[in-house]
Amino acid sequence: MADGDINRYPYLLKEAGFGEVDTGELMMGMVRFVRAYAD
Amino acid sequence: MDQHDPEADGIPIHWARSYDLGTQLLLFGRSRKFRQKLLDLALLKSGEGFLDVGCGPGRLVLAACHRVGPLGIACGADISPQMIKLARRKAVKSCPAAEFVQAPGQSLPFDTGYFDAVATVFVVHHLRGDHEKVRAFEEMRRVTRKKGRVLIVDFKAGGARDRSHVTWPTATSTATPTC
């Protein structure tokens, strides 16, 4: 069972207390990144 | 009796050398460039402190070690003792200042606000369910200084598929903060 939908990570990061979050893609869209800033 | 779920801390990968070779092949010889890109995304600069959670064989930590220089800190944490052993062996040749500790992402043996940037690459999909992911994110936030960065990189379509072949160890953390 897949358990790693990265599209949901920004919401989980907010739940973990992060403020600003930005996202993007790497490797022709096969890989995504989420960058969060501690505040 | 309340028992610790061994799956909760994530999947420890014990076949360190094969994993290391496999990830190099997966990146089609562009692994060095890929790692530099990740460090760029983490906005890592000379003199800063960097932690890679689920560092595996430590290649990103070693790249970070060169970037942060002698005034910086480059650390890796991984739940697998085999990965830590391999990473330490690589560090002897490449960047002896790099440090590696055995620890799960949900329980990092570092002081609050210790790092400027924390990264975790192809790891979070191994954590089962939202609760464990949020726990790991909270812990990464704790060890990151205010205004510091946390970079999460993962496959677009999720990764943890059939885990029935994995033997789960008892989750114990013997790590001591050395970074």
Tens of pLDDT, residues A1-23: 345 588 899 999 999 999 999 99
Query: Per-domain residue ranges for chain A?
Result: 6-36
CB neighbours of B55 closer than 8 A, spacing ≥ 6? B61, B76, B77, B78, B83, B87, B100
CB neighbours of B34 closer than 8 A, spacing ≥ 6? A26, A27, B27
Above 0.85 for ipTM, yes or no?
A: yes
**Could you tell me if A38 and B147 are in contact, meaning their C-beta atoms sit under 8 angstroms apart?**
yes
Structural domains present in chain B: 24-153 (3.40.50.150)
pTM of the model: 0.81
Nearest alpha-carbon partner for B53 in B83, B25, B32: B83
Tens of pLDDT, residues B34-65: 999 999 999 999 999 999 999 999 999 999 99
Q: Does B156 contact A12 at a Cβ distance shorter than 8 Å?
A: no
Q: How big is chain B by its Cα radius of gyration, in Å?
A: 15
Rounded to the nearest angstrom, the minimum Cα separation between B147 and chain A is 5
B153 close contact with A: CB closer than 8 A: yes
